[in-house]
């Protein structure tokens, strides 16, 4: 039993390292997305870049949630295996408690990410609406400018005729 417990602990430690690596990759992806956001904000074509950014942001967030859910499921499976094996050693009990805590933390992270996605979706919808309004305002101003220019041209022609 102790040998199997030790092997299981080593497997769980390896799994934990994999999760830490995934977390670091996720943080790197977040930093990269921040850089992309900065680049997109400098773009002159706000409407197109905003839509592609929204799509990429949603895709990335969904991907991270799926990864966390997969990790969460893996931890739940590990916890169930430990329960089924009815391991009584102290190390196994401690590892079980650690896995439960990790599982809870991942669940909280998933919930936070889902809330963040909802907030970002709302923010993106607000930005999209604002962008559409600005485009309409721009079009109206162009029509007004064209009318003013036509009026000015008529006045100039009228004054030249006098």
Q: What is the mean pLDDT of the chain?
A: 83
CA separation (Å) from 28 to 3, 16, 31, 85, 102? 37, 18, 5, 38, 21
Rounded CA separation 11/95 (Å):
11
* 102-129: pLDDT as tens digits: 999 999 999 999 999 999 999 899 999 9
Per-residue model confidence (pLDDT) at position 89:
59
Is 88 a residue whose pLDDT tops 80?
Answer: no
Rounded CA separation 97/79 (Å):
9
Higher pLDDT, 45 or 3: 3
Is 72 a residue whose pLDDT tops 90?
Answer: no
Higher pLDDT, 51 or 27: 27
Band (pLDDT 50/70/90 cuts) for residue 46 is low
DSSP character at residue 89: S
Is 138 a residue whose pLDDT tops 90?
Answer: yes
Determine the Cα angle at 94 with ends 90 and 95, to 5°. 115
pTM metric for this prediction: 0.39
CA separation (Å) from 127 to 28, 48, 77, 105, 124? 26, 12, 42, 32, 5
67: CB partners within 8 A, 6+ apart: 22, 26
Is 86 a residue whose pLDDT tops 70?
Answer: no
Rounded CA separation 66/71 (Å):
9
Mean pLDDT of 46-69: 67
């Amino acid at each position: 039993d102790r040998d199997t417990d030790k092997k299981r602990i080593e497997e769980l430690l390896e799994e934990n390292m994999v999760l830490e690596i995934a977390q670091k990759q996720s943080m790197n992806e977040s930093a990269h997305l921040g850089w992309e956001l900065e680049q997109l904000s400098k773009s002159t074509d706000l409407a197109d870049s905003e839509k592609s950014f929204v799509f990429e942001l949603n895709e990335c967030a969904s991907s991270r949630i799926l990864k966390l859910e997969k990790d969460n499921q893996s931890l739940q499976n590990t916890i169930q295996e430990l329960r089924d094996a009815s391991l009584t050693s102290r190390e196994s009990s401690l590892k079980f408690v650690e896995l439960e805590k990790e599982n809870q933390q991942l669940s909280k992270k998933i919930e936070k990410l889902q809330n963040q996605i909802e907030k970002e979706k709302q923010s993106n919808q607000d930005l999209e609406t604002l962008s559409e309004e600005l485009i309409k305002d721009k079009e109206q101003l162009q029509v007004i400018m064209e009318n003013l220019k036509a009026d000015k041209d008529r006045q100039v022609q009228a004054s030249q005729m006098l």
